Amino acid sequence: MLPQVYEEYVRKGKVELIFLDLPLQMHSRALEAAKAVACAGEQQMFWDMHHQLFANQRALAPDDLATYAKELGLDVAAFKECLSGNRHLAGIRDDVRIVNSLGVYGTPAFLLGRRVPGGDKVEVLDIVKGLPPYAMLKEKLDALLAAEAPGRSPERQ
């Protein structure tokens, strides 16, 4: 579903995609995985690691994470040093606090909103809990795009 969203909305400049962490306690590897993508982000490879981990959700042991870092061409020593520390923990916990404040406690979930002009905030207009079919998300995105640009069809943007 997300690859379709990326092709149809992100690549075409219609929608910005943002990621927020919500590592669930019931998922024993989730916190380390969240740290791994943040550490990959230090080497400008956040989304590459993001895709790698989603493609390998059953293999998230520390050795697996290091293997993915190597496969992505990261500086593995720097990656491991980052992963063994806790410098991204506060950011991850901030994400959890923000998401929980919206009543979201499970994954996945999707928040639809718009950038607040001149700031680093997003106004959340809709929340989808669970993994929606692409058609449902498309309908919601198209409706918001139409509302943002009255009189213009989203397909013509």
Q: How far is the CB of 2 from another protein (least distance, A)?
A: 7
Burial class (CB in 10 A: 0-12, 13-18, 19+), 92: buried
Q: How far is the CB of 76 from another protein (least distance, A)?
A: 19
Q: How far is the CB of 82 from another protein (least distance, A)?
A: 15
Find tokens 């390998």 and name the residue: 56
Tokens representing 146 are 């139409």
Minimum CB distance to another protein smaller for 30 or for 82: 30
What is the secondary structure of 91-106 as a DSSP string? HHHHHHHHHHHTT--S
Q: How far is the CB of 136 from another protein (least distance, A)?
A: 13
Minimum CB distance to another protein smaller for 10 or for 76: 10
For helices 30-41 and 46-55, the axis angle rounded to 10 degrees is: 150
Q: How far is the CB of 120 from another protein (least distance, A)?
A: 3
Residue numbers at the binding site for another protein (CB under 8 A): 2, 5-6, 9-24, 27-30, 33-34, 37, 41, 46-47, 50, 53-54, 57, 60, 91, 95, 98-99, 101-102, 104, 107-116, 120-125, 137, 141, 144-145, 148
Minimum CB distance to another protein smaller for 8 or for 76: 8
Which residues make beta-bridge pairs with 99? none
Q: Is the peptide bond before 62 cis (omega within 30 degrees of 0)?
A: no
79 closest CA partner among 94, 62, 61, 92: 62
Tokens representing 130 are 């669970």
